[in-house]
Amino acid sequence: MSRLNNKVAVVLGGAKGIGLAISQRFADEGATTWFTSRRDEELQAASRTLSGSTIPLRADVSQHSELTRIMAEVQARSGQLDVLVINAGMSEYATLDTINEAHFDQIFGLNVLSPLFALQAALPLLKPGASVVLIGSIADVIGTQGYGVYSASKAALRSFARTWTRELSARGIRINVVAPGPVDTDMMLAASEEVRNGLTAAIPLGRMGKPEEVANAVLFLASDESSYIAGAEICVDGGLTQV
């Protein structure tokens, strides 16, 4: 398998859960894969798990200066960037009556501002025809009690994909979104049991997804197999938002 042979990929938030599955899938397909986490223990654990050509990089992607540093290191050591996956994100429960500025700023800072400045920092490295995949969420089109700010942040990301597709079309750079539904990760475990059970019961396929199933969709959009797909959102949700 070599769908990403001789390509360089960066997976922001690529050391656990969906991000780890993406990092491994890319490496399996021949890419030199940089993956980030702000926690040393996550990077070490991921490095023990991953095979292929992978490069761990400790960075706090919520910081603009760190995003600039990441891209400078990639440029110095790899000289190019063919695929950028922006996976780092967070959710936190808060109903309308309890939301405060700190909650809003934290979620929008990581889920919205960080992707913006990550892509901005990557622009000089991205080759013509490069692929950028944003990890969104089906929360951008459904309402889930207590996750209003999180849902709004993912809707903003979906909107960015449309605008950036227009702005970067002259360079042939494709921007797409993969929107997972409920997936068996630590982030989903942080949700209440009531929320998890309610979501699972509503899924036509009758189960939560696996990180590897999301990674498969990301690989498709990262590869030349999706060369005529731009500005799109692929829902990996077991049919939850589709039927």
- Residues annotated as catalytic are 150
Distance CA 73, CA 87 (A): 19
> How big is the CA angle at 9 (ends 62 and 114), to the nearest 5 degrees?
15
Determine the Cα–Cα distance for residues 86 and 115; give it in Å rounded to an integer. Answer: 6
CB distance 122 to 36 below 8 Å: no
Q: Report the alpha-carbon distance of residue 155 to residue 198 in Å, rounded.
A: 22
Query: If 0-12 CB within 10 Å is exposed, 13-18 middle and 19+ buried, where does residue 228 land?
Result: exposed
What's the DSSP call for residue 175? E
Distance CA(153)–CA(165), nearest Å, equals 19
